[in-house]
Amino acid sequence: MSRHRATDGEDQTAIIPRVTEESAPRAVRPSPRPAAPTGPPVVPGPPPGPVAGRPPADLPPPPARVPLDRPETPTAIIPAVSSDATGLLGAVPPVPPKPDLPEGAATAAPVRTQPRRGERVVKLRPEQTDDGYKSVYSELTRPTIGSRIRAGVRGVGELLITLGVIVLLFAAYEVWGTTAIIGGHQDTLGQQLDQQWDQPDPTVGPTPSASPKPLAGNAIARLYIPKLDKQWVVVEGVTQKDIRYAPGHYPSSADPGKIGNFAVAGHRNRATFWRLDELDNGDVIVVETKTQWFVYKVVRTRIVRPTQVEVVAPVPGEPGKKPTQAMVTLTTCNPKLDNYQRLIVHGELTRTQARSDGQPAELG
Kindly report the three-state secondary structure assignment for every residue of the chain: CEEEECCCCCEEEECCCCCCCCCCCCCCCCCCCCCCCCCCCCCCCCCCCCCCCCCCCCCCCCCCCCCCCCCCCCCCCCCCCCHHHHHHHCCCCCCCCCCCCCCCCCCCCCCCCCCCCCCCCCCCCCEEECCEEECCCHHHHCCCHHHHHHHHHHHHHHHHHHHHHHHHHHHHHHHHHHHHHHHHHHHHHHHHHHHHHHCCCCCCCCCCCCCCCCCCCCEEEEEEEHHHCEEEEEEECCCCCCCCCCCEECCCCCCCCCCEEEEEECCCCCCCCCCHHHCCCCCEEEEECCCEEEEEEEEEEEEECCCCHHHHCCCCCCCCCCCCCEEEEEEEEECCCCCCEEEEEEEEEEEEEEHHHCCCHHHC
User: Is the pLDDT reported for residue 363 higher than 50?
Assistant: yes
pLDDT tens-digit profile of 71-92? 555 555 656 555 554 444 555 5
Angle at 43 between CA 40 and CA 47, to 5 degrees: 140
Domain positions in the chain are 216-363
Other C-beta atoms lying within 10 Å of the C-beta of residue 274: 19
Please tell me the distance from the alpha carbon of residue 221 to that of residue 232, in angstroms, as a whole number. Answer: 9
More reliable by pLDDT, 92 or 280 = 280
Catalytic residue, chosen from 185, 249, 333, 346, is: 333
* Lowest mean pLDDT, pick from 72-81, 164-173, 216-225, 287-296: 72-81
267 assigned to active site: yes
Cβ neighbour number for residue 85 with a 10 Å cutoff: 14
Backbone angles phi and psi of 336, in degrees to 5:
-65, 140
CA dihedral 112, 114, 117, 122 (to 10 degrees): 100
Q: Could you give the CA distance from residue 157 to residue 159 in angstroms, rounded to a whole number?
A: 5
Q: How many whole angstroms separate alpha carbon 170 and alpha carbon 183?
A: 19
| Max Cα–Cα distance, the chain, nearest Å | 186
Sign of CA dihedral 263, 255, 231, 178: positive
Q: What mean pLDDT comes out for the span 131-147?
A: 71
Which of these is catalytic: 185, 249, 267, 346?
267
What average pLDDT does this structure show over 33-37? 54
Q: What integer pLDDT is reported at residue 129 of this predicted model?
A: 75
The residues facing 331 across adjacent strands are 265, 344
Q: In this model, does residue 320 exceed pLDDT 50?
A: yes
Rounded distance, CA 66 to CA 72, Å? 10
Active-site residue 249, yes or no? Answer: no
> What CATH number was assigned to the domain covering residues 216-363?
2.40.260.10
**Res 52 pLDDT > 60:** no
Question: Using one digit for the tens of pLDDT, what is the confidence trace for 191-215?
Answer: 999 999 988 766 655 555 556 677 7
